Amino acid sequence: MRRNPRELEKTHTVLTRRAMLLGGVQLAFVGALGLRMRQLQLEEADQFRLLAEENRINVRLIPPARGEIFDREGRVIAHNTPSYRIVIVPEDAGDVDKVITRLGQLIELDPEQLNRAMTEMDRSPPFLPVTVAEQVSWKDVSTVAVNAPALPGVSPEVGLTRKYPRGSDFAHAVGYVGPVSDYDLSKIENPDQLLRIPRFQIGKVGLEAKHEDLLRGKAGTKRVEVNAAGRVMRELDRREGEAGADLQLTLDAELQGYVQARLGEESASAVVIDTENGDVLAIASSPSYDPNKFVRGISVNDYNDLLNNKYRPLASKSVQGIYPPGSTFKMITAMAALEEGLIGPDETVYCPGHLDVSGRRFHCWKRAGHGWVDLQNSLKQSCDVYYYDLALKVGQDKISAMAKRFGLGVRHDLPMSAVASGLAPDRAWKRRVHGQDWLVGDTVNASIGQGFMLASPLQLAVMTARLATGRSVEPRLVKSVNGVEQPSGAGRDMGLNENNLRKMRRAMYAVSNDRRGTAYGSRVIEDAVRIAGKTGTSQVRNITAEERARGVIRNEDLPWERRDHALFVNYAPADNPRIAVSVIVEHGGGGSSAAAPIARDITLQALYGGPPPLEVYPPKDRPRIEAQQERLRNVLPLADTEGSGRA
């Protein structure tokens, strides 16, 4: 049908208007889309590029090599050795139980380690490798590699593990490393991401823990390409980390080994300090333990054996142990009186075997007494009554202050675990801690290193070094860090009267070299290396009046834990001090019989740099010393065996 031209024109006008409207809408949409594309491609390109990269590329940490530890002569104390382990990727293994059963037929698998691995598999994504065997031999690695087609998902890996080649000799000083625990992380406010790497090892005790930040180093990184599931496809590049700092200690490995061997099976400790610079040449506690067992993962039975041993092998007695210093403290009481001008040149005190103070009788160790004694004879024979009398004159506050000047009751900043402060109490301390007034009897007890007085073997060695030099010698354990020498511990002049120090040194010389000296039995007869020292015996039990009336029970007749502690401190050579030594034998009895012989042997070993000639010992001692040296020679080579230790 033919349409009217007017109707056609009207229809055309309507269509044109609609087309223009639709075209405008389309144009607006295309324009908006173009603007958004411009915004995404230009203004927000960096942000989306970063997101895309993060989806495709992961940055992972590379554990650094831990810094190594050496003795003063460059001998290795702690180092890193290649460690082989076997890992399994559950996703690639398929039937994990079947593969592990097959693996167990080829190499020995530790049940405890295997249980840990199975727990990790349950918690981890199936594409992450899990360690099923650690510290495996090269033979085991070869066996796994040869049988790879039959062990899907299983592969050997190599890493680094800590090794302590001298075993138990440095266990208490250096400590050991172990895997990071939740408890470790809870103690750190902002933990390094390295610490979150599974089974990453950090220092647990000793120097390893105290200098963890230096030894750990800085992590490296590697970029790996991953797929959508997070599985690694390939490594793109890597940046190696920074190895931890190497530490050189002041300790002498050979001397340390000798000291540890000389202490033997006693529950004891010893410290040797260089009086010139404060270097700790040896610091030992006995019995010790093998730190390598902790690195590998100590068994429950082995740990319980250490924990339940009454001699406390896990404790570092040299710095943690605090004991009544006994008669080794008498030099402090005397120095306090000398500096106050309370001892005249010819002043003597009469010792009848006791002193009555405020209605209480304080006994001398020698029941019959020492008679009239002056300063030198009182120290030489260790007369208690002389020091009771001095203490009443000088007072506890001045004795306490002098003790702290000589390093007692002060925490020395040595990088070892739980370094104790000891105790040199004054009157205010008792009021503050016990809420009681200080009694005159407390002063009498403190004058001979009993009562509240407590000191560690380290503190007693520092005290002796300061008496020998008149300087405020400070102990130093780290000699250098990455070759950079650390500050000396030589110390400054203490400002004490040199005449008073000379009097104390003469008295200490008499202790070891006069026939009536308490340490005469452990003397040295070679003038060039003569010793000046002081014996000490500290009580760990009260002796009742009834027991004194019946007769005091001998130490050897008491249970071990109720016997007296034996102590000895000395410096040598007497006329030109180079080293200071302290020895404590727990419940060893008398200082002259138990501690002094050990200290003499350690002193001579340090001065000679090895076994001393028999001629320096009194003739009667030489056969015994020769047999002892031979026995120790047979023991000491064990210290050089890889990973061995004397527990």
pLDDT digit string (tens) for 549-562?
666 777 777 887 88
User: How much of the chain is helix, strand and coil, in % rounded to 5?
Assistant: 45, 20, 35
Instruction: Supply angle C-alpha 634, 637, 641, rounded to 5.
Output: 140
Mean pLDDT of 243-253: 96
For residue 15, tell me if it sits in a domain. Answer: no
At 309, which CATH number? 3.40.710.10
Return d(Cα 457, Cα 451) in angstroms, integer: 18
Band of pLDDT at residue 187, cut at 50, 70 and 90: confident
349's tokens: 């005190």
Band of pLDDT at residue 48, cut at 50, 70 and 90: low
For residue 500, tell me if it sits in a domain. Answer: yes
Band of pLDDT at residue 639, cut at 50, 70 and 90: very low
Tell me: pLDDT of 303 over 80: yes
Return d(Cα 638, Cα 647) in angstroms, integer: 11
Judge if 185 and 206 occupy the same domain. yes
Higher pLDDT, 65 or 227: 65
Of residues 182, 133, 272, the one with CA closest to residue 578: 272
From 249, 267, 290, give the residue that closes a domain. Answer: 249
Higher pLDDT, 589 or 380: 380
pTM recorded for the entire structure: 0.84
Alpha carbons within 13 A on the beta-carbon side of 11: 6
Q: What are phi and psi of 495, to 5 degrees?
A: 75, 25
Judge if 514 and 475 occupy the same domain. yes
pLDDT digit string (tens) for 14-25?
556 666 777 667
Judge if 222 and 364 occupy the same domain. no
Tell me: pLDDT of 567 over 80: yes
Judge if 326 and 399 occupy the same domain. yes
For residue 6, tell me if it sits in a domain. Answer: no
Judge if 461 and 354 occupy the same domain. yes
Return d(Cα 418, Cα 270) in angstroms, integer: 17
Judge if 329 and 207 occupy the same domain. no
From 217, 249, 281, give the residue that closes a domain. Answer: 249
Q: What are phi and psi of 224, to 5 degrees?
A: -125, 145
- Number of structural domains in the chain: 2
Return d(Cα 403, Cα 288) in angstroms, integer: 30
At 213, which CATH number? 3.90.1310.10
Judge if 245 and 257 occupy the same domain. no
Between the alpha carbon of residue 233 and those of residues 29, 227, 230, 470, 595, the distances in Å are 42, 7, 9, 68, 66
Return d(Cα 75, Cα 77) in angstroms, integer: 6
Judge if 166 and 103 occupy the same domain. yes
Mean pLDDT of 258-265: 95
Return d(Cα 467, Cα 461) in angstroms, integer: 10
Band of pLDDT at residue 3, cut at 50, 70 and 90: low
Return d(Cα 388, Cα 448) in angstroms, integer: 8
For residue 68, tell me if it sits in a domain. Answer: yes
Judge if 228 and 367 occupy the same domain. no
What is the pLDDT, as a whole number, of residue 545?
A: 63
Tell me: pLDDT of 427 over 80: yes
What is the pLDDT, as a whole number, of residue 46?
A: 59
pLDDT digit string (tens) for 360-379?
999 999 989 999 999 999 99
Residues marked as catalytic: 327
Domain holding 243, by residue range, is: 59-249
Query: Beta partners for 500?
Result: none
The chain-wide mean pLDDT, for the chain, equals 88
Judge if 503 and 574 occupy the same domain. yes
| Range in 65-74, 194-203, 406-415 with the lowest mean pLDDT | 194-203
Residues 6+ apart with CB under 8 A from 22: none
pLDDT digit string (tens) for 314-333?
999 999 999 999 999 999 99
Burial level of 43, CB count in 10 A (0-12/13-18/19+)?
exposed
Q: Which of 102-106, 193-197, 431-435: highest mean pLDDT? A: 431-435
Per the omega criterion (within 30 degrees of 0), is the bond before 287 cis?
Answer: yes
Mean pLDDT of 408-417: 96
Residues 6+ apart with CB under 8 A from 515: none
From 225, 249, 273, give the residue that closes a domain. Answer: 249
